[in-house]
Amino acid sequence: MTANYNFAEIFKNTFDFNQLFSTQRRNIEAISEANQVVAEGAQAISRRQAEVIREGVEDVLKASKDILTSGTPETNLTKQSELAKSIFETALANLREISETATKFSFEAFDVLNKRAAESLEEISSAAGSRASAPKKKASA
């Protein structure tokens, strides 16, 4: 008994490599998209941090000028404690906002990758299933 198969036909009938390459191309595109989401998130966070720093410096300069030009030590002590409390509360609110932004962008990137992983598994299963059910050539006697 001799088989009429050549080496390439063995692999051709087991798996569709063109579909595999297409699946991998889409996987790379999804990774690129997720990287873009992460980059946009990092830029947004950097811009917001720069705004927070600028606003903080302006507030401290304004308060310092007010403290230095106003009267009694008792009044200045009260103003300093109010300034410290305000700085702490603002920093906490800004930290919360920035961490929420980072979490949002992280989930967006994860969603892109998660969706693509599910699609990729479906594509591979479909390719393997279609090849398994494909009619095979019979060996001639």
pLDDT 10s digits, 79-129: 888 888 988 999 999 999 999 999 999 999 999 999 999 998 888 788 776
Please tell me whether the overall predicted TM-score, pTM, comes out greater than 0.75 for this model.
Answer: no
What are the structure tokens assigned to 123, written together? 């594509």
User: Among positive and negative, which fits the CA dihedral 48, 52, 53, 58?
Assistant: positive
**Mean pLDDT to the nearest integer, 74-82:** 83
What does the pLDDT read at residue 15? 63
Beta carbons of 44 and 105 less than 8 angstroms apart: yes
Distance, in Å, from the CA atom of 83 to the CA atom of 74, rounded to the nearest integer, reads 14
Of 3-7, 20-24, 49-53, 55-59, minimum mean pLDDT range: 3-7
- Angle (deg, nearest 10), helices 73-132 and 17-69: 180
The string of pLDDT tens digits covering residues 35-66 is: 999 999 999 999 999 999 999 899 888 888 88
- Comparing C-alpha atoms, which of 130, 129, 126 is closest to residue 118? 126
Whether 131 shows a pLDDT value over 90: the answer reads no
At 141, the pLDDT band (50, 70, 90 cuts) reads very low
What does the pLDDT read at residue 21? 87
What does the pLDDT read at residue 79? 83
Beta carbons of 105 and 40 less than 8 angstroms apart: yes
At 34, the pLDDT band (50, 70, 90 cuts) reads very high
